Structure 1
Amino acid sequence: MSLKIVKRGRIWYIRGSVAGQHVYESTGLGEKRAAEAKRARREAELVQRSAHGATATLTFAEAAAVYMESGGETRYLTPIIEHFGPRRRLADIDNRAVNACAAALYPTAATSTINRQVITPISAVVHRAALDDPSLARRFQRRREPQGRLRWLTPEEAERLIAAAPLRVRRIILFLLGTGCRVSEALALDRPQLHLESSEAWIAKAKNADPRMVILPARTRRALAASELPKAGAVFRTPKGERYKVRGSNSGGQIQAAFNSARDEAGLGADVTPHVLRHTWATWYYAATRDFGGLMDFGGWRKADMANRYRKLAPSDLPRRLLKHGWDFGANFVQPETDESGNRSENRSVG
């Protein structure tokens, strides 16, 4: 039995069986000649798949659908799927095809953008397909990114930023500086995931889908404990008391305006963004502890080369300066009490 087209309302549908597979699907077309052409292509595809196996004819669009249904990141996939179209076989996607896709979608983009928005999502789709059929496994060449200066804040710069920020944003800044969380991870934090008694926070909605527990240094914990935290829902909220809408993982656009205002008042440059606070935590944490395993675990990095960038950034006096400003990342360490603006009091407590 072959396929045929039947009209339902204004739309033609494909119906029938080929190679033992029953089909009933919309063409999305109202013009009969175009619908007939689509039927012929669909029938040829099913015959080819029957003869050569599903893997040989698996399209990128089909593989991407499986990847997304499995919980994969969808953010950058739509333009890639549209570029390759519904018929491009996954087996035909090689480095040349990836480069052509990058040139078509982002002709003037930076190397980092190509890696993040083209090569990484394509690699993820292929990797997921290879779980079902190892013969599909392959690697794509990432573009070498220039290693620029990694911006981080000195304790003194951080104090100026904290002092200049409004209370609502100040608490977020203190949380980011104390934990190294990405902005999206912090804004997604719910009250039951914040454990002030044990100075911990459970990051359930992590960028790489690997939840983790982070440790709150005493200064961060005290700032949160002094806040009127909600009993349920989001810990950090908009001026209207609403949950932030999380878009992306690193940009910090949700708090950008208030952050930029505080940054400018603090006399810091435009290169200081909310994500710089993650670089700052990593630099501080490693300088204070020399614990590379903790750096990777608490920072949520899967690859050592990502975390390794922070091992050679800090001057030798950074641990002392951190303690001076109330930042203790060590275990059972006595540190000076500070309020949210960094002013020392006479009381001392164990972090």
Structure 2
Amino acid sequence: MPLKLIQRPSSENFYIRGTVRGKSVFESTGTSDRKIAEEIRIKAEARLLDESVHGKRALVTFDEAADSYLESGGSEKYLIKVSKDGKVSGVAAHFRGKLLKDLGQSDLDAAGRILYPTANSDTRNRQCYTPFIAVWNHAVVNQWAEPRQWRRPRKPKGTNVTVLKRPRAGTRPTSYDRAATFVAAMTPAAAQIMTVLFYTGMRPIELFTLEDHQVDIAGRWISLDASKTGEPRGVPMHEFLVPLFTSLMTRGGTLFRSYKGEPYPPSDEFGGQISTAINGARRRLAKKKIEIADISAYTGRHTASTQLVVNGIHPYVKDQILGHAADDMSRRYTNVPQKPLIDAINTLPVPQAWRDLHWWSDPLYWSRRLLMTKAEAANAARTA
């Protein structure tokens, strides 16, 4: 029988009930307005008729496939971006409402040009084509789309000249003296995050989600419930970090927050949560004629790894610290402090300039402040 509107005694909202070509339906319209409910009923009936005739494949939109892809554990990186004012952009937003069956190579190529008009082929491939194809392949598995061989963008032919690019910030290590200069120019909350990254080798996402119950100050140990690869691991705590963790632990909960006291949104976008603070430090240093533009949140991890090698730490120990060596034994004892790893992390050097940062006097208090005023700086100098 065709779909009808009914009202249940326990709810004011209208429900759709009936059978369309053998498929039974009983669902809420989510509204008590009969006119709106009737419009929903008509659309639902038309959709079921189309699906019964043409199949589900003819009706799935790209954004529906993207939602399913994310629910199944897919990455939202480059697929969906939400700005601070709530504006949604990215590949999924570009193809919103478009039926999968209507999309072709020209649509994907056009999306790359529209979303990234000035980007090179590598960037368009990574940030547009890759997330699109990931959603498409998910739709294929669910039999919502036909398998296709999508052409990805290529570098222009006809030249053998290699364009030298400026390395992406955070992809190379730096010296601890240079890092101290950079961190000193940062606001306290972000400076504290960078300090821990340089003296643990943790990934930014691991630190942004770290909570007090995961930290054992007495044992100089941090227990991560799940690393980037989904495996738990333990991280040794450098002695230099003990006063910082001791202070932040009094707040409890999520340890590292913005100066407003808000937890950072969990994301693996290369430490983008503190990008404003990093850019601010670069500008402040530039005013002093100090050019440091290659340090970002991931620099700490690369620097710790390189310095441990320079210090003669065994590669296996180094890999355990960074979470690269995850055997059954290390996973079993994630919560047990391991002295060889603690001894190794303590070989990382601590420049005096880092020890002299003003916020060490009360890390929790200063984590809620921005830069020092001139009066506060003068007073800190007198009491130092």
For the aligned pair, the TM-score class normalised by the smaller chain equals 0.5 to 0.7
Tell me the CA shift for residue 186 of structure 1.
1.7
Q: Distance in 2 between matches of 1:286 and 1:123?
A: 39
Determine the structure 2 residue equivalent to 1:155.
Answer: 176
| CA offsets 1:1-41 (integer angstroms, 9 cap, x no match) | 556899xxxxx9987533322346869996x9999688546
CA contact (8 A) 1:60 1:86 kept: yes
Do structure 1's residue 103 and structure 2's residue 110 form an aligned pair? no
User: Is 1:230 matched with 2:250?
Assistant: yes
Gaps of 5+ in 2: 7-13, 81-87, 156-162, 326-339, 357-384
* Equivalent residue number for residue 65 of structure 1: 67
SS at match of 1:227: helix
Give, in angstroms, the shift of residue 48 of structure 1: 1.3
CA distance in 2, matches of 1:300, 1:126: 31
Name the TM-score, length of structure 1 as normaliser.
Answer: 0.62
- Tell whether 2:267 aligns with 1:244: no
Query: How many angstroms apart in 1 are the aligned matches of 2:234 and 2:71?
Result: 29
Change in CA separation of 1:164 and 1:109 when aligned onto 2, cut-off 3 Å: closer
**Corresponding residue for residue 315 of structure 2:** 291
**How big is each residue's C-alpha offset from its partner over 1:123-168, in whole Å with a ceiling of 9 and x where there is no partner?**
4334544655699666756657986534432232123234455654
Post-superposition shift, 1:190? 0.9
Q: 1:188/1:166 Cα in 2 relative to 1: closer, same or farther (>3 Å)?
A: same
Distance 1:203 1:118 in 2: 32
Q: Tell me if structure 2 keeps the 8 A contact 1:184–1:249.
A: yes
SS class of match (1:201): strand
Alignment counterpart, residue 274 of structure 1, candidates 276, 297, 301? 297
On the 8 A contact 1:286/1:295 being kept in 2, the answer is no
Shift in alpha-carbon separation, 1:56–1:336, aligned structure 2, 3 A: closer
Question: Is the CA contact (8 Å cut-off) linking 2:62 and 2:97 kept in structure 1?
Answer: yes
Are 1:174 and 2:195 matched, yes or no? yes
Matching residue of 2:215: 194
One-letter amino acid of the structure 1 residue matched with residue 23 of structure 2:
Q
Secondary structure of the residue aligned to 1:17 is: strand
* Change beyond 3 A, Cα 1:83–1:165: closer
For 1:188 and 1:132, how far apart are their aligned partners in 2?
33
Matches for 1:138-149 after TM superposition, within 5 Å: 148-149=166-167
Determine which structure has the larger strand proportion and give its number: 1
The amino acid of 1:177's aligned partner reads F
Q: Which has the higher contact order (CA 8 A, sep 6+)?
A: 2
TM-score (norm. length: structure 2):
0.58
Q: Structure 1 counterpart of 2:297, which letter?
A: P
Mean Cα displacement is larger for which, 150-159 or 94-103?
Answer: 94-103
Unaligned 5+ runs, structure 1: 7-11, 302-328, 345-351
Give the counterpart letter for 2:236 in structure 1: L
Query: 2 CA distance for matches of 1:46 and 1:293?
Result: 60
Counterpart-to-counterpart distance in 2, 1:33 and 1:168: 52
Contact 2:236 2:341 survives alignment (8 Å): no
For 1:86 and 1:13, locate their aligned partners in 2 and report how far apart those are by CA, in whole Å: 25
The match for 2:204 among 163, 183, 186 is 183
Q: Do residues 80 (structure 1) and 95 (structure 2) align?
A: no
Could you tell me which amino acid in structure 2 is paired with residue 17 of structure 1? T
Percent identity, please: 26
Per the alignment, residue 24 of structure 2 pairs with 22
Instruction: Please state how far the C-alpha of 1:73 moved relative to its aligned partner.
Output: 3.6
In structure 2, what is the Cα distance between the partners aligned to 1:293 and 1:199?
16
> Which whole-Å CA distance do the structure 2 matches of 1:152 and 1:139 have between them?
39
Offset from partner CA, 1:92-145 (integer Å, 9 cap, x none): 766554323323333334545534442333343345446556996667566579
CA contact (8 A) 2:62 2:95 kept: yes
Q: Deviations over 1:298-349 (max 9, x none)?
A: 3679xxxxxxxxxxxxxxxxxxxxxxxxxxx9674574885874569xxxxx
SS at match of 1:174: helix
Q: Give deviations 1:155-192, integer Å, cap 9, x for gaps.
A: 32123234455654443222111233343432221111
